[in-house]
Structure 1
C-alpha cells in the first residue's frame, strides 16, 4: 500500500477502535451489516443502506481481535429488499476467535454511516456463521447454543424474517440493536419458537433495553386480536424517550411526592399490527418482563425506585425494580411509560421502632402510605381492604375498573378497584356468603395467606411438602389455633416472610399490625427478586 493509504487506514483504525470502546455496535441512518459468516478462512456478508447511488462503492475493513489490520474489500450491490444490499467477501483470513468488521466508507457513504460488528469463527460447514455483534456467543450447528447473537436494525426499523429465524435456530438469545426507536418484526420469524420458554428476544437502543421471552407474546392470540394469521402479523416494539410534555409531567409528579427524577421516562411498548394497521397489545398474564434503564451510578438504592407513569391520572406508581451498577431493571407485566425516581420519606412516629427500616424502604418505593404526611401508626391494625391494596401495589398491578363480584364491595368504594384486581389475580378469597368484609381487621393467618398467593403470582413460591409443613409448625406451641391456612403459614415461615411472635408462639389469630404488614411485604419483594436486599 502507498504511504498515504497506510496513513489513512491507520487513522481509520484508531477512530474505529476508539468508537468500539464507547459503543459495541454503531449504526447511524439506515446502514448496517447482516448475514455475516466467518469460516474456512473466508469472511462474507452484506452491508445495507437506505439510500442508493449507482456510483456507491463502499469499502469494508477487517481487523483481528487485537485490532491488527487484516485487509479491505469493496462491497458490490446485490439486491433491494426494503434496503439496498451490497455483498462482500474477504478470502485468506487467518484463524481467530472472531474478526472485527468496520465500514462502510466510499462514495455515497459518509463518516456518519460507519458501523462496527464482530463475526465469530465457525468450522461447522452446516452452520451459516456467527453473524453476531460484538458480544455474540460462539456459533454452533445442531442444537441451539445457549449463547447469543446480535442483529443490527437500521433506522427504518425493519428486520429480515429469515435472518431472525435463522438466529433463533442457532441461539436461545437474540439481540436487536436499534438505530432508531422501534423495530417491526414479521411474526412468522418467531412462530416456530412461540412456545419455547428458552427463547429470549432482547431489543436495545440508547434509551434502554426490553427483554422479551418469546412465549409470552402468545402470537396466535395476538394475531386473532387484529384479525390476521400469524404469518401476516407484525410485532412492533418501541423503546422511545417520552416527549417534553410527558417528561415535565413526570418531573412534576415526582416533586409533588417530595422526590426527584433519576432516569427520564421511556415508553416501552409492544403491539401486534394487522394488515390494515389495526393494533392490539399482547396479554402477558402474570409474566413479568424486564426493562432496563441506564443510570448514573450514584443512586441511593434504599431511596430509589422504578415507577410507572399514568398519563390519564398524572400519577406515579411502584414498579418492581432491581438496581445494579449504573442500571435499573424494571419488572412488570405490561407496556407503559417507565422512569426512576428518588424519595426521602419517613414518619415521626416510627423513629426507633423495630419496623422503621421496612416502613421507610417501602414508603420510598411508593408501596406503603402514611395515615398522614407525618404519621404511619405502626401498631394500628390493618383491614382486609387495606392489605389487599398493599399487595396489589407491591406486585406492580394497576387497579382494574371492576369491583369484582363481592356483595359488600360497591363500585364507589375507594378499594373497589384493588379488591377487584386482587380477586382476579387470585390473591384474595371471599366468604361463603359472597362477602369480602373489606373493613374487617386482618389476622396474621389471613395476611400470611395473601402474601403466599402473591409469591405464587410472582412465580416465587417455594415448595413445602406435608412432612416439612408439620416440622415447620411443630416448633410453635400455638400452631393448633390455625383454622385453615396451615400450608400457607408453613410456606411463609419457610420463605422467611413471617416470624413467630416469640420463639415458640405464632399468633396466627392475632390481628396484624401495619408494622407487621410492612415487614412481610418487604420480605415478599426480596423473595420474589422484585427489590434489592
Structure 2
C-alpha cells in the first residue's frame, strides 16, 4: 500500500472514530531543558516520525495548530511519547507552546500508526508563521531524531524538509543557514530552508559539499515575484550565479509538461577528470597557452514529469568563478570554453581579481559547457613598433584575434565583413549556429558561414537590400562601429544617445555629413570612447577599416562591457 493510500485509509478511520484529542501542557522552560539535554546525549533512533503535511493546518485567529504525524511499524513502540514544540522563529528559541507525553487519538493502518493532534496555543501573541517540531520515542530529557515543518496562517502548503528526519545539530533536512549562507550536505535544498533564505536576502548563496544541487522551481518563482534577484551555488570547484529572471521557470515547466511545484532546477559544478581532462590540457597547449586552473563542467538543467531539458539563458550572461592556482597578469590570461566536439578552446568573457592571496577568475557566458583558465604570451614580428601592439597582443592572449600568418598579424591590412563578423561572435563567446541561408551569397561550406549565421541570429549584422551579405567586401569604419554598438547592446550595456547629443558629438567632425546610415551608432561609439576620429576633425566613416583598428575597437568595447580587465 502506498503512503497516499495509507493516509487516505487513515483519514477515513479518523472520521469514524471522532476521538477528541487531549493535550497535556508543559512549560516552555521544560521543553527548553529537554532540548538542551538532547543536544548532549546520544541519539536513540533514526527516522521514527514524520508530519502528514497534507492535513497540517495553522489558524492564527483561533491560535490552533492541528494535523497528524505517523510512525512506521519498525519504529512504533506502544508506550512511546510524542512531543511537540511550536515556535515563532526559525532559530527555534521562542516557544509559543509545548506538549509532552500526551495522549492522542491514534489509528494504525497497515503497520503505520497515525497520531492526530490539536494544539491550542497558550501564548497571548501569535505570528503569521509558526515552526512545528515533534519528537517520538524519547524519555524525558533524552534526545531523539525529530521532524520539523513550517506552517503559514494563509493556508499555503506547509514546507517540508527534504530528508524527513533530523538529529541534534543535523540541520534542516541536510540544509541549514549559517551566516546568511545555506549549507547543504546532500544533493538538494529543501523548500523550507530556501524560502527562509529569500525572506532575508534577495541574493541567496548555497554552499554544497558535492557537485550537484536540485532546487524547487516553485520557491524560486515565488522569490522572483517578491523581488529576489539571484541564487549562487558554491562548491570547492567553483561558483555559478543564476539570475532568477533568466531561468524562465514557468516556460521550463510548460516545456517539461509538469507543474511548477513538480519542477526542479538542477545545477552541476563538476571537476573534469580522466580522458576529458587530458583532452582539455591538450587543447590548452594547442592554443598556445598554459593551464592555470582546473577544468570544470558547469551545467544547469530543469527536470520534471520524468523529463529533463537544458536551461537556455537567452542573452543573459551568467557568471561563474574558478580559482586560479597562481598570480597572473590579466592581460595574458583568459577564461576559455572547451568544445567537446571540436576539442578546441575559445574565448570566454572573463575578469580577474586577487583577494586574500587567491586569484579568482569570473567567467561570463550564456550557456552550459566545460570551462578553464589559461595563460599565454603571444607576440607578432610585424607589431614590434606598431601603435596597436599592446591591444592586439592582449586579444591574441585571450583567443579573440589570431595571426594572419606565422608570427605575422598584418595590422594595416583591411579587414573583410566576414572576418569582422567572426571576431564579434568570438568576442561575445557565442555558440556557432548551424549555417543556413540567411543571405543568398553565403556558401554553407565557407569558413565564415557559421559565424555569419550566428551574428545574424544575434542581431549583430544586417545584409543589403538585395538580401546579400557581401562577406569578402572590406568593412568600412561606419559598418564596424555599427557592429560594435550592437555587440555592446547584446552584452547588456546601454549606449544610445539622444538626437541632440548625436548632433553635438558629431559636430566636431567636418566630414560627418558623409555618414550614410549609421549616424546614431557612430555617435554612440564616439560617446563611449570606442571610436576616435581619423584626425582631430575627421571621422572617416567611409574609410576601410584595418585589422589593427578592428582589434583596438574590440578591446575598448570588451572593457566597457566588463568582459576583460
TM range (shorter): 0.7 to 0.9
Query: Aligned equivalents of 1:461 and 1:419: distance in 2?
Result: 24
Structure 1 position 85 matched with structure 2 position 114: no
Offset, 1:322:
0.7
1:344 corresponds to: 377
Does the aligned pair in 1 maintain the 2:201–2:228 contact within 8 Å?
no
Of the three residues 279, 283, 286, the one matched with 1:249 is: 279
Q: After the TM superposition, which residues 214-229 of structure 1 pair with which residues of structure 2 at under 5 Å, given as runs?
A: 214-229=244-259
Offset, 1:36:
5.1
SS at match of 1:377: coil
Of the three residues 155, 174, 177, the one matched with 1:132 is: 177
1:154 corresponds to: 185
TM-score by length of 2: 0.71
Of the three residues 37, 60, 77, the one matched with 2:91 is: 37
Query: Deviations 1:454-483 (Å, cap 9, x if unpaired)?
Result: 011011132311111111000111111101
SS at match of 1:132: strand
Does the aligned pair in 2 maintain the 1:320–1:530 contact within 8 Å?
yes
Does the aligned pair in 1 maintain the 2:292–2:326 contact within 8 Å?
no
1:438 corresponds to: 471
Offset, 1:307:
0.4
Does the aligned pair in 1 maintain the 2:162–2:189 contact within 8 Å?
no
Offset, 1:247:
1.2
Structure 1 position 517 matched with structure 2 position 550: yes
Structure 1 position 320 matched with structure 2 position 325: no
SS at match of 2:202: strand
Q: Residues 468 and 196 from structure 1, CA distance in 2 versus in 1: closer, same or farther, beyond 3 angstroms?
A: farther
Query: Aligned equivalents of 1:286 and 1:258: distance in 2?
Result: 30
2:34 corresponds to: none
Query: Aligned equivalents of 1:231 and 1:431: distance in 2?
Result: 49
Q: How many residues align?
A: 426
1:463 corresponds to: 496
Query: Aligned equivalents of 1:239 and 1:449: distance in 2?
Result: 37
Q: After the TM superposition, which residues 270-289 of structure 1 pair with which residues of structure 2 at under 5 Å, given as runs?
A: 270-276=300-306, 278-289=307-318
Query: Deviations 1:249-289 (Å, cap 9, x if unpaired)?
Result: 1110111122111111101110011231x211122111000
Offset, 1:161:
1.3
Q: Residues 77 and 441 from structure 1, CA distance in 2 versus in 1: closer, same or farther, beyond 3 angstroms?
A: same
Q: Residues 161 and 38 from structure 1, CA distance in 2 versus in 1: closer, same or farther, beyond 3 angstroms?
A: closer
Offset, 1:402:
2.5
**Which ranges in structure 1 are unaligned for 5 or more consecutive residues?**
1-8, 10-34, 48-53, 56-72, 89-102, 105-112, 118-130, 137-149
Query: Deviations 1:486-519 (Å, cap 9, x if unpaired)?
Result: 1000000010100111111111100000000000
Query: Aligned equivalents of 1:257 and 1:432: distance in 2?
Result: 39
2:74 corresponds to: none
**Which ranges in structure 2 are unaligned for 5 or more consecutive residues?**
1-39, 41-88, 97-129, 149-160
Structure 1 position 266 matched with structure 2 position 296: yes
Q: Residues 504 and 84 from structure 1, CA distance in 2 versus in 1: closer, same or farther, beyond 3 angstroms?
A: same
Q: Residues 74 and 429 from structure 1, CA distance in 2 versus in 1: closer, same or farther, beyond 3 angstroms?
A: farther
Offset, 1:132:
3.3
SS at match of 1:450: helix
Query: Aligned equivalents of 1:76 and 1:490: distance in 2?
Result: 71
Query: Deviations 1:4-53 (Å, cap 9, x if unpaired)?
Result: xxxxx9xxxxxxxxxxxxxxxxxxxxxxxxx95276699x9999xxxxxx
Offset, 1:379:
0.3
Q: Residues 299 and 394 from structure 1, CA distance in 2 versus in 1: closer, same or farther, beyond 3 angstroms?
A: same
Structure showing greater Rg: 2
Structure 1 position 429 matched with structure 2 position 462: yes
1:59 corresponds to: none
Structure 1 position 483 matched with structure 2 position 519: no
Q: Residues 344 and 266 from structure 1, CA distance in 2 versus in 1: closer, same or farther, beyond 3 angstroms?
A: same
SS at match of 1:459: coil
Offset, 1:235:
1.0
SS at match of 1:330: strand
Q: Residues 347 and 46 from structure 1, CA distance in 2 versus in 1: closer, same or farther, beyond 3 angstroms?
A: farther
Structure 1 position 309 matched with structure 2 position 338: yes
Structure 1 position 164 matched with structure 2 position 194: yes
Query: Deviations 1:360-415 (Å, cap 9, x if unpaired)?
Result: 00000000011113101000000000000000000010111133420001211111
Structure 1 position 449 matched with structure 2 position 482: yes
1:296 corresponds to: 325
1:109 corresponds to: none
2:44 corresponds to: none
Query: Aligned equivalents of 1:45 and 1:163: distance in 2?
Result: 12
Query: Aligned equivalents of 2:143 and 2:330: distance in 1?
Result: 50
Does the aligned pair in 1 maintain the 2:510–2:538 contact within 8 Å?
yes
Does the aligned pair in 2 maintain the 1:37–1:45 contact within 8 Å?
no
Q: Residues 287 and 161 from structure 1, CA distance in 2 versus in 1: closer, same or farther, beyond 3 angstroms?
A: same
Does the aligned pair in 2 maintain the 1:250–1:265 contact within 8 Å?
yes
